[in-house]
Amino acid sequence: MVEIVRGAPDRLLSRAWSPLLDRLLGPVPDVPRPQGLDADRRATVILWSAAVLLILLIFNAGFQTPGDLYPWWDGLNPRGLGYDIYWVSWGWILYLAIPLAVILFVFKESPARYGLRLYLTRRTLALYLAMMAVMVPLLFWASTRDSFQATYPYVKDLGSNWPLTIAIWEVAYVSRFVCLEFFFRGYIILGLEEKLGYTAIAASTAPYALIHSGKPFPEAMGAIAAGAVLGLLVIRTRTILGGAMMHASVAVSMDMLALWRAGYF
């Protein structure tokens, strides 16, 4: 029988903060206690596997270009859609598929415990919308910078039918962010929470911030704050849904602003 721990994360917060978070976000949903590995061994597997997966992700598993993996793909346009779909596909494998396999076959647990579930309340939805409202003017300001316009969208050669190219790209791009949210906020934070409590947010945010190396400086700094806020929210809601919605909204908005600045519409 699954033992339920009610409000387990709150033991790590002061008594003053817990009621405030309860009023803002609602109480922490009931948390099934893991039935697979103990907390120490689970943390060991997660931290070492995360280190390996992130290095593989950065270097596309040693196949930096599509041609390195499959010679027939050597002619793909480095500025085109296919080249960037290749980059997205490594996120599907390393952010999502392999961590899911670890959860299912090593931990022998449900992915729902790691945030893969649909759960949204009026209070959390209102909070996500408020956060997005704060982000809009910041994104608008960022879009005026040369570094922003040089970075987004990743697909530079949009071709003659650019609306279709962008539509396909945004779907793929958003899917990678869902995988990213699962990896950093679900697999790492919810996987380490029993051992580290809220400190799991810091353990996740450090590598999350570092993968923004090469991005515009304001975005890279903002990743630290985003990691902290989204980490807190995933512990309080037990789902990556809100973070995925936020990440996808920001990513699509950044691309649309860059296209607008470039005169596409």
Rounded-to-integer distance, Cα 106 and Cα 222, Å: 34
Tell me the domain boundaries of the chain.
Answer: 35-261
Per-residue model confidence (pLDDT) at position 202: 96
Per-residue model confidence (pLDDT) at position 4: 39
221 closest CA partner among 240, 208, 203: 208
**pLDDT 10s per residue in the chain (265 long)?**
333 344 444 444 545 566 666 666 665 666 555 566 789 999 999 999 999 999 999 999 999 999 999 888 888 899 999 999 999 999 999 999 999 999 999 999 989 999 998 887 788 888 888 888 988 998 999 899 888 888 899 999 998 899 999 999 999 999 999 999 999 999 999 999 989 989 999 999 999 999 998 888 888 898 999 999 999 989 988 999 988 999 899 999 999 999 999 888 8
The CA-based diameter of the chain, rounded to the nearest angstrom, is 61
CB 100 within 8 A of CB 215: no
CB 73 within 8 A of CB 134: no
Rounded-to-integer distance, Cα 162 and Cα 45, Å: 43
Other Cβ atoms less than 10 A from the Cβ of 37: the count is 16
